[in-house]
């Protein structure tokens, strides 16, 4: 198995290189050079636990890393979860909920990032080198990225966030981590400022390579690969194909499901749920991909207008024609509007729904009243979307965060007291560490240099 770029402009690379490079040099994303069909394995896979299943899937996608090491890595990564099942499935009314929030920061991104941090470490150790990760977060991804690498002796992580503009809880999940390799930077500006600073620092290729700078964004192939595991794990618990309902922002989570389906997982269809930031809802309705303005909602991790992982879906849709993908993405970059299918685009396996704030709150309230089960505002989007469709297949809704991460919205919906979780109650305010910098590239650069070079 080799990895090619969605834009067709680079030579195929190994799994290891795809993971370490993150993004391809032609601006595209890495994709496997073929989709392996695994139908013959399904019966034996039903008996495996989560880590064993992950090892089987990785042995196909990561043939250049030995099986024993991958197995050990998965066991280690998933031992940080507070459920033996890693992603337990629970029945809620007529639906099933797949809980993806049992990792250290209580959100689904832990599943992939606990693995990615360890993969980086494994490769760095072989190469006897080091890595300085630089990331920007509007709140949620930062803590999962930090938790994936904290304590590493080969990796430092620098996370930029808009100071004072994330929730107090989100900030504390990052800043209360004590490991010396973790550096939280509050920027006196917006999330856009953080991203802009990060982009211009990465744009300085000299600086980037001299100081071993890397990223942990949602486009890393390893994240997509790891997420494939829970689609198999959950669908193999049923004796008929299931429908998955997925609350969506960057299209990363659902893309893994689509790949699992193409590999032969018993999946009937997908329900794609967006909040008011509905660029993907509209795309799957009309084939039109149009940039809009980001609106702040109660499901902030889905407040996204450009869904970077959609490019991988387009690559599949366009029969691996990198040049076509390239033209599409160029068109989007230049004008903020592109289209596929000339008004006739439809993907029968993806049903899209837009769920507004009022509907989300109502869904949280009703689910609590009817089933005594509390969902977070992101999960509520998927749940509301699932309830709006009819069909014979069992539906599995992906729960992407623990409700205690979003206590205010949940309390508003249920009228009860805010949900809590021991992990969040244990966060120690007195231990918080961060630096606050002005919103310009120069001050961030100087800080990085000070930490990296020690002077």
Ligand X SMILES: *Cc1c(COP(=O)(O)O)cnc(C)c1O
Cβ pair 340, 310 in contact under 8 A? no
Question: Quick one: which of 301, 359, 360, 363 contacts ligand X (CB under 6 A)?
Answer: 301
* Interatomic CA distance for residues 84 and 109, integer angstroms: 18
Minimum separation from the CB atom of position 304 to ligand X (A):
7
326 binds ligand X (CB under 6 A): no
Interaction between residue 175 and ligand X (CB under 6 A): no
401 binds ligand X (CB under 6 A): yes
| Residue placing its CB nearer to ligand X in the complex, 121 or 303 | 303
Q: Does 302 bind ligand X (CB under 6 A)?
A: yes
Task: Note whether 107 binds ligand X by CB under 6 A.
Answer: yes
Q: Which stretch binds ligand X (CB under 6 A): 51-59, 251-259, 262-270, 434-442?
A: 251-259
> Which residue lies nearer to ligand X by CB, 198 or 444?
198
**Of residues 162, 186, 247, 407, which one binds ligand X by CB under 6 A?**
247
Tokens of 162: 């808009």
Among candidate residues 2, 47, 91, 109, the one labeled active-site is 109
| Binding range to ligand X, per CB under 6 A, among 43-51, 69-77, 160-168, 249-257 | 249-257
Kindly indicate which of the ranges 33-41, 247-255, 312-320, 327-335 contains the residues binding ligand X, using the contact rule CB under 6 A: 247-255
Among 142, 252, 287, 322, binds ligand X (CB under 6 A): 252
The nearest distance, CB 144 to ligand X, in angstroms, is 8
The candidate with the shortest Cα–Cα distance to 80, out of 48, 53, 37, 118, is 118
378 binds ligand X (CB under 6 A): yes
Binding of residue 109 to ligand X (CB under 6 A): yes
Active-site annotation holds for 369: no
Closer by beta carbon to ligand X, 110 or else 163 = 110
Q: Select 218 or 326, whichever has its Cβ closest to ligand X.
A: 218
The footprint of ligand X on residues 125-144 (CB under 6 A) is 140
Task: Tokens for 217, please give them.
Answer: 């964004």
Give min distance, CB of 405 to ligand X, in A: 7
Q: Which of 87, 250, 274, 297 binds ligand X (CB under 6 A)?
A: 250
- Least distance CB 164 / ligand X (angstroms): 21
Task: Please identify which residue in 400, 404, 409, 414 interacts with ligand X, judged by CB under 6 A.
Answer: 400
Catalytic residues: 109
Chain contacts with ligand X (rule: CB under 6 A): 107, 109, 140, 218, 247-253, 301-302, 378, 400-401
């Amino acid at each position: 198995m080799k990895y090619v770029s969605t834009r067709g402009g680079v030579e195929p690379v190994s799994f290891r290189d795809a993971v370490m490079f993150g993004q391809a040099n032609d601006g595209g994303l890495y994709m496997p050079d073929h989709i392996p069909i695994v139908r013959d394995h399904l019966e034996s896979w039903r008996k495996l636990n989560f880590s064993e299943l992950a090892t089987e899937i990785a042995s196909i996608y990561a043939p250049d890393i030995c099986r024993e090491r991958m197995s050990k890595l998965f066991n280690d990564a998933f031992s940080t979860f507070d459920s033996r099942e890693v992603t337990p499935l629970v029945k809620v009314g007529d639906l099933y909920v797949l809980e993806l929030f049992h990792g250290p920061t209580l959100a689904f991104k832990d599943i992939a990032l606990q693995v990615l941090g360890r993969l980086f470490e494994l490769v760095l150790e072989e190469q006897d080198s080091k890595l300085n990760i630089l990331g920007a977060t509007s709140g949620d991804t930062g803590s999962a990225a930090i938790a994936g690498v904290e304590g590493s002796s080969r990796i430092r992580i620098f996370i930029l966030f808009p100071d004072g503009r994330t929730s107090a809880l989100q900030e504390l999940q990052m800043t209360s981590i004590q490991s010396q390799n973790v550096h939280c930077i509050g920027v006196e500006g917006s999330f856009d400022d953080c991203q802009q600073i990060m982009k211009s620092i990465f744009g300085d290729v000299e600086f980037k390579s001299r100081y071993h700078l890397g990223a942990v964004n949602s486009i890393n192939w390893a994240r997509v690969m790891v997420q494939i595991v829970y689609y198999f794990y959950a669908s193999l618990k049923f004796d008929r194909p299931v429908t998955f309902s997925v609350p969506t922002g960057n299209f990363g989570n659902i893309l893994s499901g689509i790949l699992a389906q193409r590999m032969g997982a018993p999946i009937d269809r997908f329900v794609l749920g967006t909040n008011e930031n509905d660029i993907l809802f509209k795309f799957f309705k009309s084939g039109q991909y149009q940039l809009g303005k980001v609106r702040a909602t109660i499901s902030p991790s889905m407040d996204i207008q450009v869904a970077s992982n959609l490019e991988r879906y387009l690559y599949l849709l366009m029969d691996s024609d990198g040049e076509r993908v390239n033209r599409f993405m160029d068109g989007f970059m230049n004008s903020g509007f592109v289209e596929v299918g000339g008004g006739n685009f439809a993907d029968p396996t993806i049903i899209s729904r837009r769920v507004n704030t009022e509907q989300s709150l109502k869904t949280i309230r009703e689910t609590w009243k009817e089933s005594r089960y509390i969902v977070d505002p992101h999960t509520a989007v998927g749940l509301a979307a699932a309830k709006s469709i009819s069909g014979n297949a069992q539906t599995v809704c992906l729960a992407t965060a623990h409700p205690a991460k979003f206590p205010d919205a949940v309390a508003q919906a249920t009228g009860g007291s805010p949900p809590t979780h021991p992990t969040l109650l244990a966060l120690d305010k007195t231990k918080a560490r961060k630096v606050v910098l002005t919103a310009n590239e120069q001050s961030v650069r100087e800080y990085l240099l000070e930490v990296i070079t020690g002077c």
